[in-house]
Amino acid sequence: MSEVMKRRRAELGLSQQQLAERVGVDRRQIRRYEADEQQPLLSVGLALAEALGVSAAELAGRPSPSVGLAGIWWSAWQTFKDGAEVITSQEVRIGERLGDHMTMDALSRGNVTLEEGGYLWRGELRIWDNHILMGWYAADDGSVTSKGTMYFALHPHGINLQGRWVGLSYDGPIVTGWAATAKTESEARALIESLKQRGTPV
């Protein structure tokens, strides 16, 4: 539990004090839990899980054998326009899992216009060993013809996807960049910055 707490708290950018306030305990208790000196009462454990955005089982270090990804997420993408880096973000929907396949569709163009390179797209992902997602995407927005592949590592607790995309750009060349999907736009964008610095998913 302590490793999940520390990792998830860091991903959310919370201090021990901020987490303690959300849960309703003293900061020293959070320190004890993270140091593995104590285990929380069930009621506190449930409050911790809610504050950290994970299930109680995930907090206990027992990821679901079939992580549920269906729902609304935010994706961020490292892209390039005229040689300059542009970080785009957009709301996406991941469809219900059918066997080892699921759909992923952009719900908006996000923070850039069509002229700046933002477009709607649809895609499909296949999950391997409940850890790796690979798939394709294709523009679904008027005359935009971009298409390509996506490769994501699934966080052990299903809280985000981190990886890369490779595609054929609107003007022909093959391009690539970092990609991240999380529950909030700010989390997805922060993951992109982290990937750029580390050069590898966590």
Identify the pLDDT of residue 170: 66
Identify the pLDDT of residue 168: 84
Q: List the structure tokens of 50.
A: 């809610």
| Segment (H or E) for 84 | strand 84-94
The stretch 51-61 carries a mean pLDDT of 80
| Segment (H or E) for 192 | helix 185-198
Residue 136 identity: W
Identify the pLDDT of residue 151: 97
pTM value is 0.65
Superfamily of 2-59 according to CATH: lambda repressor-like DNA-binding domains (1.10.260.40)
Q: What is the CATH number of domain 71-198?
A: 2.40.128.120
Q: Which residue stretches of 16-84 are H helix?
A: 16-23, 27-34, 42-52, 56-59
Q: List the structure tokens of 68.
A: 């549920």
Report residue 202's pLDDT band, with 50, 70 and 90 as the boundaries.
low
Q: What are the residue boundaries of the structural domains of the chain, listed by start?
A: 2-59, 71-198
pLDDT (tens digit per residue) in 121-133: 999 999 887 889 9
Identify the pLDDT of residue 98: 78
Identify the pLDDT of residue 105: 96
Q: Are 48 and 6 in contact (CB under 8 A)?
A: no
Alpha-carbon gap, residue 103 to 139, rounded angstroms: 14
End-to-end CA distance of the chain: 18
Report residue 65's pLDDT band, with 50, 70 and 90 as the boundaries.
low
Backbone angles phi, psi at 179, to 5 degrees: -140, 145
Alpha-carbon gap, residue 12 to 187, rounded angstroms: 7
Identify the pLDDT of residue 35: 93
Percentage helix, strand, coil, to 5, in the chain? Answer: 30, 35, 35
